A and B are shown apart, each in its own frame.
Chain A
Amino acid sequence: MQSSKPTLDVWDSCCLIGILNGEKDKLPALLAQTRFLETGAAMLGLPIAVLDEIVTLADGTSAEENVRAFLLNPYVLPLHPNLEVSFKSKSLRMRFDSKRMPELYDKAVAAGVPKDQAKKLGVKDSEILATALFYQAERLTTYDPFLLFLGREYIEKETGMVIDLPTSPFLPFPDKKEE
Chain B
Amino acid sequence: MKESRRGAEFTVVVLFLIAIVCAIGFIFVYAFFSPERMPNELLGISLGLCLIFIACALAVVGKRLVPNDELEDDYPEEHPQKQAEVVEQLHSAGSLITRKRLLLGAGSAAGCALGAAALTPVLSLGPFWDTAPLDRTPWKRGVRLVDESGDPLAADNILKETFYTAFPEGADPEEIGSPIVVLHLNATDLRMPRDRSGWTPRGIVAYSKICTHAGCAVALFRKPTFPTVERREALVCPCHYSTFDPFTGGSVLYGPAGRPLPQLPLEIDSDGHLRAAGNFSARVGPSWWNVREQPT
Q: Do A and B bind each other?
A: no
- The chain B residues found within 8 Å of chain A, CB to CB, are none
- Report which A residues bind B (CB closer than 8 A): none
